[in-house]
Amino acid sequence: MDLNLTPQEQQFRDELRAWLARNVPRDWERHRLEDTMHERFAFLREWQRKVYDGGWAGVAWPRAYGGRGASLMEQVIFTEEMGREGAPPLANILGLSLIGPTIIAFGTEAQKKRYLPKILSAEEIWCQGFSEPNAGSDLANVRTDAHIDGDHFVINGQKVWNSYGWAADWCALLTRTDPESQKHKGLTYVLVDMRSPGVEVRPLLQMTGETEFAEIFFHDVRVPVENALGPVGDGWNVAIGTLMHERATLGAAVQVAYRKQLDRLLELSHTVERNGRPAADDPVMRQKLGQCHAELEIMRLNQMRSLSRLNKTGVPGAEGSIQKIYWSEFNQRFQQVAMEMLGPYGQLAKGSPGAIDDGIWAYSFLRARGNTIEAGTSEIQRNIVGHFVLGLPKSY
Ligand SMILES: Cc1cc2nc3c(=O)[nH]c(=O)nc-3n(C[C@H](O)[C@H](O)[C@H](O)COP(=O)(O)OP(=O)(O)OC[C@H]3O[C@@H](n4cnc5c(N)ncnc54)[C@H](O)[C@@H]3O)c2cc1C
């Protein structure tokens, strides 16, 4: 693939740079460090609205639904430039990266018009309701029941680990509409208004101290049948669409965040001491930092390769699983290096006197543990690569 920008891409980048230079909120760092999770989310929601009003949200989404109608390469440029300028992330992360693209692929015209613009403007925040206590890796074991009563589904069941469940206005819910069915058959993907009577959200406390995700309980929740995304009974295919986008696109966003963190760690290596001298002079630390840089470059180039394929075929391939394994396991190695370099002060949490960068390193180390679980565990991704990329027999 050609990694040079075309004249059109350069023009896009220059316009974007000028817009970001004028509009990126300069007090983001203070909000990131000092706000509660809810305050920070409100700030990010407002920021996304500004990005939308500026015409930069949904760079590669069709214009008819509020997007910019540009290419995936321009979407990548957008992500990279946001990182370069130190811009805050966009609030509606699941709507933008997983659920919106699934609605584009499987939605009716009415659904696209109804939901997509409000995902882009952050007017409506989305969460993903797939996992259940007995259906995680084995997602086809979903038991949340949605039986049809007239022109409504009546939904009963429980979901778990739902990121942004506490903030969401809508949920992309995987349900079982045929109680006699097994596994991949008889499932339906339903778009559920989180304010419907009978929806109960219970936040889950994580070891980072945040309640980033929640459990969601459904008690006789009535949802119009027209809210099915794709045909009733064909939810598995639609859900796979969401999962493939999740694996293929999350890598692009995290890669930019990791680069910023590595740059900051390199800066700190000149002042933090290891073995009586700056960490930057310590031969072992230098080796480890060099390794992180090399791995991050590999991640960036592989990301370009899988996006280039997505650009050509329009569908994310199983190699998204390679990216998922790579970024999640890289981040755990990288956060370990950061802990080794920063020493005990790096382990201090937000608010502790002496905590380096007000505890962001301790937070990032703990948060990285979930990376090899969320969006499908490393074991499951390796099974997918084994079967779909290498042609090995199925693992079950
Ligand atoms: C930070 C975070 C955010 C999340 N956000 C969401 C969200 O927004 N929405 C949502 O629906 N879910 C979300 N999840 C849930 C996530 O998708 C599941 O946790 C994940 O799919 C694993 O399922 P499980 O927890 O039930 O573990 P299990 O499936 O019970 O797995 C337990 C262990 O067994 C291994 N294992 C299972 N089956 C196999 C196999 N066939 N071969 C080899 N090993 C196997 C797994 O790799 C794992 O190590 C999130 C999880 C995390 C950590």
The residue among 63, 82, 192, 67 whose CA lies nearest residue 121 is 67
Whether 316 shows a pLDDT value over 90: the answer reads: no
pLDDT, mean of residues 279-293: 97
Query: So what's the pLDDT on residue 396?
Result: 67
Separation of CA 341 and ligand 1 centre (Å) = 31
Q: What is the pLDDT of residue 84?
A: 86
pLDDT greater than 70 at residue 259: yes
To test the pocket of ligand 1, the residue of 377, 379, 380 to mutate (highest count of ligand atoms within 8 Å of its CB) is 377
Compute the average pLDDT of residues 140-162.
97
Ligand 1, atom 3, residue with closest C-alpha: 374
Tell me if 188 sits within 8 A of 175, measured CB to CB.
yes
pLDDT value of residue 253: 76
Q: What rounded mean pLDDT belongs to the chain?
A: 93
Q: Are 320 and 312 in contact (CB under 8 A)?
A: no
CA-closest residue to ligand 1 atom 25: 136
Catalytic residue at 15?
A: no
3-state DSSP assignment of residue 39 = helix
Question: Per-residue pLDDT for 2 more than 90?
Answer: no
Phi/psi class of residue 359: alpha, beta or left (left: φ > 0; alpha: ψ in -120 to 50)?
A: left
Q: Judge if the beta carbon of residue 163 lies within 6 A of ligand 1.
A: yes
Pocket test for ligand 1, best of 142, 162, 175, 374 (most atoms within 8 A of CB): 374
130 lines ligand 1 (CB under 6 A): yes
Per-residue pLDDT, 247? 77
Q: Give yes or no for residue 380 CB within 6 A of ligand 1.
A: yes
User: Residue 393: exposed, middle, or buried by beta-carbon count in 10 A (0-12, 13-18, 19+)?
Assistant: exposed
| Cα–ligand 1 centroid distance for 280 (angstroms) | 38
pLDDT number for residue 1: 59
pLDDT at position 120 over 90: yes
Over the stretch 68-119, which tens digit does the pLDDT of each residue have?
999 888 988 998 899 889 899 999 999 999 999 999 999 999 999 999 999 9
- Asked if residue 206 has its Cβ within 6 Å of ligand 1, the reply is no
Residue 373 pLDDT exceeds 80: yes
Question: What is each CA distance from 266 to 88, 95, 150, 338, 348, in whole angstroms?
Answer: 21, 34, 62, 10, 19
Query: pLDDT tens for residues 6-18?
Result: 999 999 999 999 9
- Give the whole-angstrom CA distance, residue 108 versus residue 123: 21
CB 321 within 8 Å of CB 384: yes
Rounded percentage of the chain residues whose pLDDT exceeds 70: 98
> Dmax over Cα atoms in the chain, in whole Å?
74
Helix runs in the chain, H state only = 7-23, 28-34, 37-53, 72-84, 93-94, 100-106, 109-120, 235-268, 283-313, 320-342, 360-368, 378-384
Ligand 1 touching residue 182 (CB < 6 A): no
Q: How far is the CA of 141 from the centre of ligand 1 (A)?
A: 13
Ligand 1 nearest atom to the CA of residue 135, by list position: 26
- In sequence order, which ranges of 85-207 are alpha helices (DSSP H)? 93-94, 100-106, 109-120
> Which residue has the least CA distance to atom 40 on ligand 1?
380
Predicted TM-score (pTM) of this structure: 0.94
The pLDDT assigned to 381 comes to 94
Name the pLDDT band for 295 (thresholds 50, 70, 90).
very high
Tell me the average pLDDT across 39-62: 97
Query: Does residue 131 line the site of ligand 1, with CB under 6 A?
Result: yes
373 in contact with ligand 1, CB cutoff 6 A: yes
DSSP states of 367-396 as a string? HHGGGGTTTS-HHHHHHHIIIIIT-PPP--
Output the residue whose Cα is nearest ligand 1's atom 26.
136
pLDDT band at 313 (very low <50, low <70, confident <90, very high): confident
Quick one: pLDDT at residue 306? 76
Question: End-to-end distance of the chain based on CA atoms, in angstroms?
Answer: 36
Question: Averaged over 35-47, what is the pLDDT?
Answer: 95
